[in-house]
């Protein structure tokens, strides 16, 4: 009699443990939601042209949240600010920085509680020609 009760308790315990370990992660929708939550974003900055005053900013992100873009100098002064739609997953923009003074500028990108900073160095080069007579 005791052996029957112990064996039944053991079977119930084993069944409970096996059910607790099953969490439904094989479900495709659950996997998709988890991957979207863990989505990261990538950004690149490319200086264009000979003088480098045109800068292309390219960002790839998910479609679950907005992208916040700032262009600042090293002192923290904001020159540009934009909130990009969460519906779009690719942000591409060319910035003309020809009117900016020489120095280091920083693009600060915020998406999904993550931050990426990209620096741009502007330096005016003047070429002088010396002619001998």
Q: Per the structure, how many domains does the chain have?
A: 1
Q: Print the domain residue range for 109.
A: 38-122
Q: What is the pLDDT of residue 65?
A: 86
Whether the Cβ atoms of residue 75 and residue 88 lie closer than 8 Å to each other: no
As a whole number of angstroms, the distance between CA 82 and CA 93 comes to: 11
pLDDT of residue 118: 92
Residues 46, 56 contacting (CB under 8 angstroms): yes
Residue 24 lies in a domain: no
Q: pLDDT tens across 30-44, in order? A: 555 555 544 578 898
Q: Please check the confidence at residue 78 and state whether its pLDDT lies above 80.
A: yes
pLDDT of 80 reads 94
Range list of H helices, the chain: 2-21, 28-37
State residue 72's pLDDT score.
94
User: Which CATH number do you get for residue 51?
Assistant: 2.60.40.3080
Domain presence at residue 17? no
Asked, for residue 132, whether it belongs to a domain, the answer is no
State the pTM of this model: 0.63
64 within some domain:
yes
DSSP 59: E
Task: Write down the pLDDT at residue 116.
Answer: 92
Please give the angle made by the CA atoms of 27, 112 and 119, to the nearest 5 degrees. 135
What mean pLDDT, rounded, does the chain reach?
78
In the structure, what pLDDT confidence band is assigned to residue 95 with cuts at 50, 70 and 90?
A: very high
In a domain, 11, yes or no: no
């Amino acid at each position: 009699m005791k052996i029957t009760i112990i064996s039944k308790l053991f079977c119930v315990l084993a069944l409970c443990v096996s059910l607790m370990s099953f969490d439904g992660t094989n479900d495709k929708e659950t996997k998709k939601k988890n991957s979207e939550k863990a989505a990261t974003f990538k950004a690149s900055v490319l200086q264009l042209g000979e003088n480098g005053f045109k800068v292309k900013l390219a960002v790839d992100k998910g479609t679950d949240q907005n992208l916040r873009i700032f262009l600042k100098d090293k002192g923290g002064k904001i020159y540009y600010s934009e909130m990009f739609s969460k519906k779009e997953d690719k942000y591409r923009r060319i910035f003309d920085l020809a009117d900016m003074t020489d120095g280091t500028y920083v693009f600060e990108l915020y998406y999904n509680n993550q931050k990426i900073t990209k620096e741009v160095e502007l330096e005016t080069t003047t070429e002088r020609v010396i002619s001998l007579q």
